[in-house]
């Protein structure tokens, strides 16, 4: 009887989120997206504080398989056509926009919430309301943002001038670059960020990596991308709260991207792991910092995975990120190659059909010679062993 009464009371106290309409999930919230991304699980409701959400953040949220995204700020402010919201709604992930900063005090991490239309609730209690984005609303906002492109390009010119003045000694003379143990001189370098098309691009470079054995550099979450693909990063560069402990421990060397005042996000966390990173203060992005390090080290070729390459992607980073990246690319020049171009340049030199025909011809020749021998058992054993070895090599080549 006591047990039955307890069960009834527990049922009465249990939030009825599952029986209420909307998309439900456990809330995870953080004002800094890189920290939040490391704590997300499938089905979580991610609460972020990101004005003009970029595609890299949206891709990471999709990869985490979140159930919904709630943004304290407008995901598209109209300043420029950022790509994140378009990617999220295309993936059919509910996006509730502009709910206000009060959401961070209204709800605690781990509470089960639900998104119904344009509001977020804890059970039946209203937490905040905003704008529920859809394919139509995002398209409308993007069209309006694109009308201001000329103004954004003019603002970019001003931003580039300011960045050049601020970072003149670094860009022209290398002042402020840390001394590294990683050897770039005369070698290919592969820079990997967890952003634009990083999975497919890294997969397309498998044969290139095998042949040229480039220096592997993970930028922010790119260190984890390399680990997940079975590689050990020689160097990780970026904000320390954007890199997992496993990637930090595995890396041959760690460089912390500090801002112009020398502040580093997540530095204490890394020092707790008994890792003392080398500091690189720059107003540019972590991607720019990695490019400049490879360039200063005398890299022969720098191949980028998941790093901005088109005008759309530069705009997606906002004016500050666009200016520093464009200037960094101008400094490096022709030694910088995007992953998609590199995959075309360094694809396997012999076609699959030609290779198979060559192998069959070789096998036929061997069979003719061995049939002429008097020891039939030896022939069968040798041919069987050779065929097994050959099949394994072909699997490795085309995998």
How much is the mean pLDDT over the chain?
82
Per-residue pLDDT of the chain (399 residues; tens, 9 = 90+): 444 443 444 444 444 445 677 899 999 999 988 889 889 999 999 999 998 898 888 988 998 999 999 999 999 988 778 889 999 999 999 999 999 999 999 999 999 999 999 999 998 999 999 999 999 999 999 888 877 666 666 776 777 777 777 888 888 888 889 999 999 999 999 999 987 778 888 988 998 999 999 999 999 989 999 999 999 999 999 999 889 999 999 999 999 998 877 888 888 889 899 999 999 999 888 999 999 999 999 999 999 998 876 666 666 665 455 678 888 888 888 899 988 888 877 765 544 555 455 556 555 555 555 555 545 455 445 445 555 555 555 455 445
How many whole angstroms separate alpha carbon 94 and alpha carbon 164?
Answer: 40
pLDDT of residue 167: 84
Q: Where do we find the tokens 């999709």?
A: 62
Q: In the chain, which ranges are continuous DSSP H helix?
A: 2-13, 33-37, 55-63, 84-90, 103-106, 135-146, 149-166, 168-173, 198-204, 206-212, 222-228, 245-250, 267-272, 286-296, 311-316, 318-332, 339-345, 352-371, 376-398
pLDDT (tens digit, 9 = 90+) per residue, 96-132?
Answer: 999 999 999 999 999 999 999 999 999 899 999 999 9
CA-based end-to-end distance of the chain = 63
pLDDT of residue 388: 57
pTM of the model as a whole: 0.64
pLDDT of residue 347: 67
Q: Is the dihedral of CA 227, 229, 231, 233 positive or negative?
A: negative
Helices 318-332 and 149-166, packing angle to 10 deg: 60
Q: Which pair of structure tokens corresponds to residue 317?
A: 């980073």
Tell me the three state secondary structure of residue 310. coil
Cα-based torsion angle of the residue sequence 48, 51, 57, 61 in order, rounded to the nearest 10 degrees: 40
**Bridge partners, residue 29, by sequence:** 47
Give the DSSP letter of residue 205.
T
Burial of 84 (0-12, 13-18, 19+ CB in 10 A): buried
**Residue 70 parent element (H or E):** strand 68-71
Q: Which pair of structure tokens corresponds to residue 296?
A: 């200063």
pLDDT of residue 353: 53
How many whole angstroms separate alpha carbon 369 and alpha carbon 365?
Answer: 6
How many whole angstroms separate alpha carbon 15 and alpha carbon 123?
Answer: 6
Do residues 154 and 88 make contact, with C-beta atoms less than 8 angstroms apart? Answer: no
Cα-based torsion angle of the residue sequence 257, 263, 268, 273 in order, rounded to the nearest 10 degrees: 20
CA distances from 343 to 175, 203, 297, 394 (A): 34, 9, 24, 20
The count of other CB atoms within 10 Å of the CB of residue 24 is: 20
Tell me the three state secondary structure of residue 362. helix
């Amino acid at each position: 009887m006591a047990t039955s009464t307890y069960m009834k009371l527990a049922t009465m106290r249990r939030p009825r989120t599952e029986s209420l309409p909307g998309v439900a999930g456990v809330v995870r919230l953080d004002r800094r997206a890189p920290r939040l991304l490391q704590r997300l699980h499938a089905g979580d409701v991610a609460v972020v504080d990101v004005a003009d959400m970029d595609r890299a953040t949206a891709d990471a949220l999709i990869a985490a398989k979140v159930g919904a995204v709630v943004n304290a700020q407008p995901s598209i402010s109209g300043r420029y056509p950022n790509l994140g919201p378009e990617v999220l709604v295309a993936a059919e992930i509910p996006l509730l926009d502009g709910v206000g900063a009060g959401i961070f005090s209204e709800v605690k991490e781990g509470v089960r919430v639900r998104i119904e239309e344009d509001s977020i609730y804890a059970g039946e209690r209203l937490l905040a309301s905003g704008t529920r984005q859809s394919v139509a609303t995002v398209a409308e906002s993007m069209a309006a943002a694109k009308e201001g492109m000329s103004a954004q390009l003019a603002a970019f010119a001003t931003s580039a001038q300011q960045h050049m003045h601020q970072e003149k000694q670094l860009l022209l003379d290398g002042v402020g670059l840390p001394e590294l143990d990683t050897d770039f001189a005369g070698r290919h370098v592969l820079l990997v960020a967890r952003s634009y098309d990083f999975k497919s691009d890294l997969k397309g470079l498998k044969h290139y990596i095998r042949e040229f054995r480039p220096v592997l550099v993970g930028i922010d979450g790119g260190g984890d991308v390399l680990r997940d693909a079975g590689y050990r990063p020689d160097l990780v560069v970026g904000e320390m709260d954007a890199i997992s402990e496993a990637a930090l421990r595995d890396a041959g060397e760690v460089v912390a991207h500090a801002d112009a005042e020398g502040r580093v996000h997540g530095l204490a966390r890394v020092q707790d792991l008994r890792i003392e990173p080398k500091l690189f203060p720059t107003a540019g992005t972590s991607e720019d910092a990695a490019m400049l390090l490879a360039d200063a080290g005398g890299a022969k070729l720098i191949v980028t995975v998941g790093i901005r390459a088109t005008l759309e992607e530069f705009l997606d980073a906002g004016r500050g990120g666009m200016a520093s990246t464009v200037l960094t690319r101008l400094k490096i020049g022709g030694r910088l190659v995007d992953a998609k171009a590199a995959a075309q340049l360094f694809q396997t030199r012999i076609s699959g059909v030609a290779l198979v025909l060559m192998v069959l011809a070789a096998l036929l020749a061997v069979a003719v010679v061995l049939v002429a021998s008097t020891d039939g058992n030896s022939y069968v054993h040798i041919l069987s062993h050779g065929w097994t070895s050959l099949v394994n090599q072909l699997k490795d080549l085309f995998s």
